[in-house]
Structure 1
Amino acid sequence: MKFDDLYYIADELNKKKVRWMIGSSVLLYFHGMVNSPNDIDVVIDEKDIMKVKAIFDKIGIEQAKEKKYPYLTEYFYTYIVRDTSVDIMCNFGVAHQYGDYRLKIDESAIVEYRKINDVILPLSSLEDWYVLYQLMPGRENKVNMIEEFLISNGVDHYELFERALTQPLPEAVAYNVNRFIGDKS
């Protein structure tokens, strides 16, 4: 992944006043947990999905990609923009044995607006991705990275953990989240 490509994409989305946020490995990179993300994961507000599709049709080349269980993401597109693979997700969801979990995108979900090279990058929360990664198969390494970070640096967004608990979650995930909530007092 090239960071100049990220800044280019961010500038295009921001010019069109799209509500979006960065997640996954780029988010982990900005918190010092990974050295180099492989691709860019962009989470989009549903009201902007057609606008975003038009932007990416102009600046990138769409790649065929099939939806795979347990992912329930309503709109999922992969593009190559310049030299970088970009996954665009809207109504991002993961199925599990107790139901479906959906990532909400609203002003609460965007926890930081980081300015780099005169471009604003809206970042999603580690708290949301801590929950999501626990629901995704094969992401134990990322769960452990975030958990260690939250233990060392503290939880900044307890309200997002509390919001996560309003959706169906496996007992182990709810237990892990509640451990952090119990630490806030």
Structure 2
Amino acid sequence: MKFDDLYFIADELNKEKVRWMIGSSVLLYFHGIVNSPNDIDIVIDEKDIIKVKGIFDKIGTEQAKEKKYPYLTEYFYTYIVRDTSIDIMCNFGVAHQYGDYRLKIDEVAIVEYRNINNGILPLSSLEDWYVLYQLMPGRENKVDMIEKYLVRNGVNHYELFERALTQSLPEEVVHKINIVMCDKG
């Protein structure tokens, strides 16, 4: 992944006033949790899906991608922009044994706006991705990395954990969230 590609994409989305946020490994990179992300994962607001599809059709090449269970994401696109793979997700959801979990995108979910290279990068929260990664198969390593970070540095967005707990979640996920929320390092 090339960061210049991220800044280029951010500029294109911001020019069109799209509500979007960065998640996954780029988010972890910005918190010093991983050394280098492989691709860019962008979550967008449903009201902007047509606008975003148009932007990426102009600046990138769409790649064929199948929906895979347990992911319930309503709109999921993969593009190559310059040299970087971009996953675009709208109404991002994950199924689990007790129901479905959906990531909400609103001003509460965007917890930080980073100004890098004169570009504004809206970041989602580690708290939201801590919950999501627990629901995704094969992401135990990322769950452990985020958990260690939150225990060491503290939870910054209790309200997002509380919001997550209003949705259907497996008991073990609820338990882990409660432990991290109560742990003061």
Shorter-chain TM-score range: over 0.9
1:172, CA displacement in angstroms? Answer: 0.3
Which aligned pairs between 1:106-185 and structure 2 lie closer than 5 A? Answer: 106-183=106-183
The equivalences for 1:52-71 within 5 A come to 52-71=52-71
Q: Which runs of 4+ in 1 moved over 4 A?
A: none
Residue type of the partner of 1:4? D
Give the counterpart letter for 2:55 in structure 1. I
Deviations, residues 106-127 of structure 1 (Å, cap 9, x unaligned): 0000000000000000000000
Structure 2: runs of 5+ lacking an equivalent:
none
What SS class does the counterpart of residue 108 from structure 2 fall into? Answer: coil
Give the Å deviation of 1:178: 1.1
Distance in 2 separating the partners of 1:138 and 1:179 = 22
Kindly indicate whether the alpha-carbon contact (under 8 Å) linking 2:133 and 2:142 is maintained by their aligned counterparts in 1.
yes
- The answer (yes or no) to whether the contact 2:110–2:123 under 8 Å persists in 1 is yes
- TM-score of the superposed pair, with normalisation by structure 2: 0.98
1:154 aligned partner, one-letter code: G
Shift of 1:180: 2.4
Give the TM-score normalised by the residue count of structure 1: 0.98
Structure 1 residue ranges without an equivalent (≥5):
none
Within a 5 Å distance, the mapping from 1:1-16 to structure 2 comes to 1-16=1-16
CA distance in structure 2 between the aligned counterparts of 1:145 and 1:62, rounded to whole angstroms = 31
Match of 1:19 in 2: 19
Partner residue of 1:44?
44
Q: Please name the residue that 1:86 is paired with.
A: 86
